[in-house]
Structure 1
């Protein structure tokens, strides 16, 4: 029950931050706060099960959220959990396709899509990935 309340609080907080500050500032904030460059953490079967439980709960929370909670919400919250709680160096990715217009956000671990949420991610042009985005911010 605690995990559901935690995720709901995270979702409400994120939604409010996006509304108040705008997506770009929130994205920068998440990347600068939660990015881990090097980590020796490995994924054991037990950790994978625990992470899957978190993401199943996150899907449920997003489903019952009275406002629209999309893949970007799940990706930002998942990024925060995987980086801060598990120490996994994951990459947050956002891609678009022009025709028909489509956009999606997802999390990669070691270059692979962490969850098979959507088919044909190869058809999307990556416009933001947290690893490159952080390097650009550091150079500015």
Structure 2
């Protein structure tokens, strides 16, 4: 991913985060990631993947977006704490 593409995607992800702040209920990572997935794929035709991971102790689950295997809406430090159990592909889901 080029630096310019990364900056454009980062701006779009920031926009999604701002929209979620305005949502009257708390938008969790799954809400933000589904919204970002749909928005970036539909409106901009970007090859974004939705990833869902879990960790055993303390139990937790998390959702985030990747593009070209790079995180685009969360840090590697956070997502590396989770084992991937589901990752979207262009027209299907891969259960890991």
CA RMSD of aligned residues (A): 2.6
Name the residue aligned to 2:86. 128
The count of corresponding residues between Structure 1 and Structure 2 is 94
Task: Supply the distance in 2 between the matched residues of 1:83 and 1:44 (Cα, whole angstroms).
Answer: 19
1:127 Cα deviation (Å)?
A: 1.4
- The match for 2:20 is 62
SS in 2 for 1:127: strand
1:118 to 1:90, Cα distance in 2 relative to 1, 3 A: same
Residues 106 and 89 of structure 1: is their aligned pair in 2 closer, same or farther, counting only changes over 3 Å? same
Task: Identify, as 1 or 2, the structure richer in helix.
Answer: 1
Give 5+ residue unaligned stretches, structure 1.
1-41
Q: Distance in 2 between matches of 1:130 and 1:53?
A: 22
Q: Which has the larger radius of gyration?
A: 1
- Distance, in Å, in 2 between the alignment partners of 1:113 and 1:58 is 15
Structure 2: distance between partners of 1:85 and 1:132: 15
1:61 deviation in Å? 2.1
Q: 1:119 aligns with which of 60, 77, 83?
A: 77
**Which residue pairs with 2:52 in the alignment?**
94
TM (norm. structure 1) is 0.55
Structure 2: stretches of 5+ with no match in the other structure: none
TM-score, structure 2 length as denominator? 0.76
